Amino acid sequence: MIEDVFQDEWPRLVASLTRRFGDLDLAEEAAGEAVLAAVSGWRERMPPNPGGWLMTTATRKAIDRLRRESQREGKHAEAAVRPPDPEPAHQIEDDQLRLIFTCCHPALAPEARLALTLRLVAGLTVEEIARALFSSEAAIGQRITRAKAKIKAAHIPFTVPERLEERLEDVLAVVYLVFNEGYLPGSGVELRPDLCDAAVRLARLLHALLPDEPEATGLLALLLLTDARRATRVDEGGELVTLDRQARSGWSTALIEEGHALVRACVEANRPGPYQLQAAINAVHTAAPEFRDTDWEALATLYDQLYAVQPTPVVALNRAVVTAELDGPEAALAVVDALALSGYHAFHATRAELLRRLGRSDEARAAYTRAMELARNPAEVRHLTRRRTELAAGP
């Protein structure tokens, strides 16, 4: 109960204090002190308005700190030191949005944006971030400290940028990266639920703060429709289960319905972008009661649209999977073989599946082996291993 309050409230405190005092370190420390005070003070009884209590306490802590510092340095207390006005709800939301844009500022290194966003916006601890990103606490702590030092020294502004759409791309990319790192971790474990949850929370926040930005809506829809399948994605043996073999009854209908509604809103907005199109692709998959009911024609159209705005070999690879269903494995293989993706495990895994369907077992075996060498996720490696074994035992 108390933990839930902190998870939600701590980032709000940091955002609000940063705007009022213009100092991330001060905001973070004061928010932390307020939470500590709550931990000891709320054992007896929760205050009627926990959020308000925390905000008032954190503000007082920040003012105390500023007074102590100014006394130590023999300066007069700063003009900013005044009791807090009650914060209107939209102000708190504005502050959070500002903080997201500051944390995802393009002048910061991408890995710093990721760590900073997880810490200050998603409210994960340094320890949790280190565990999630397979790094040491010292390294993550240093990354965050350095980023905050740059924000302060270079005056990276605490504002929602004028050219919102351009900068929103950077923010959405960070959230998408957090989710992917959770849904298909590069190594170690099959799934990182904490990162998936953090990303969905961030995407919900962005959609709530920017309801008229269809790409923010698209990203939330994409994450929900992907996350809806989380429970069926890895079997008891820790092996990845591909879309065609997932038990669809295990999908979350609530998340799918929510995702479909968001995709419909995107279609109405009629300003398509990469996240919206990927969400639409996932909407087609999740709309099919069984794999055999998949509307491949619709997927082909959507992938073509996606390729038009995002002409990458990875998109072409995924389009080829649809081609295999519509025009057969031979046509798909011709497309795949032309792609410059030889360092990407999914390229070899896709080739292996196509070669298998064409009865070219030796080549399929070699492709599985190459995919296994490149794959880092243990669930994926187990899946590829079994597929290769089946091939050996087959006709």
Partner 1 sequence: MPQYLLSVHGAGSDYDLPAGKFGGYASAEEADAAMAATGVFNQKLVDEGRFVFAGGLRPASTATVVDATGDKPVLTDGPYLETKEWIGGFWIVEAPDLDVALELAAEGSRASRGAVEVRPFAS
The contact set with partner 1 (CB under 8 A) reads: 105, 107, 153-157, 159, 161
Comparison of 107 and 208: residue with beta carbon closer to partner 1: 107
Q: Which residues contact 387 (CB under 8 A, 6 or more apart)?
A: 352, 353, 356, 368
Question: Cβ of residue 107: shortest distance to partner 1, in angstroms?
Answer: 6
**How many Å apart are CA 197 and CA 58, to the nearest integer?**
26
Comparison of 37 and 109: residue with beta carbon closer to partner 1: 109
335: number of Cβ within 10 Å:
17
**How many Å apart are CA 195 and CA 182, to the nearest integer?**
5
Question: Cβ of residue 103: shortest distance to partner 1, in angstroms?
Answer: 14
Comparison of 140 and 156: residue with beta carbon closer to partner 1: 156
Return the structure tokens found at 254: 């609530």
Comparison of 51 and 161: residue with beta carbon closer to partner 1: 161
Whether 200 and 191 have beta carbons less than 8 Å apart is answered as no
Question: Cβ of residue 67: shortest distance to partner 1, in angstroms?
Answer: 23
Backbone angles phi, psi at 323, to 5 degrees: -55, -40
Supply the Cα-derived Rg of the chain in whole angstroms: 24
Return the structure tokens found at 74: 């023999």
Question: Cβ of residue 106: shortest distance to partner 1, in angstroms?
Answer: 8
**How many Å apart are CA 167 and CA 184, to the nearest integer?**
26
Comparison of 106 and 328: residue with beta carbon closer to partner 1: 106
Tell me the one-letter amino acid at 164. Answer: L
Question: Cβ of residue 143: shortest distance to partner 1, in angstroms?
Answer: 19
Comparison of 82 and 152: residue with beta carbon closer to partner 1: 152
**How many Å apart are CA 324 and CA 299, to the nearest integer?**
12
Question: Cβ of residue 105: shortest distance to partner 1, in angstroms?
Answer: 8
Question: Cβ of residue 156: shortest distance to partner 1, in angstroms?
Answer: 5
73 secondary structure, DSSP code: T
The number of residues making up the chain comes to 395
Comparison of 79 and 392: residue with beta carbon closer to partner 1: 79
Comparison of 165 and 330: residue with beta carbon closer to partner 1: 165
Question: Cβ of residue 320: shortest distance to partner 1, in angstroms?
Answer: 39
Comparison of 52 and 161: residue with beta carbon closer to partner 1: 161
Question: Cβ of residue 151: shortest distance to partner 1, in angstroms?
Answer: 9
359 secondary structure, DSSP code: T
Where helices occur in the chain by DSSP H, the ranges are: 2-21, 24-41, 50-72, 89-103, 110-120, 126-132, 137-153, 164-183, 193-209, 214-227, 230-233, 253-269, 274-287, 296-309, 313-327, 329-337, 345-357, 361-374, 378-393
> Which residue has tokens 């972008």?
273
Return the structure tokens found at 212: 């008229």
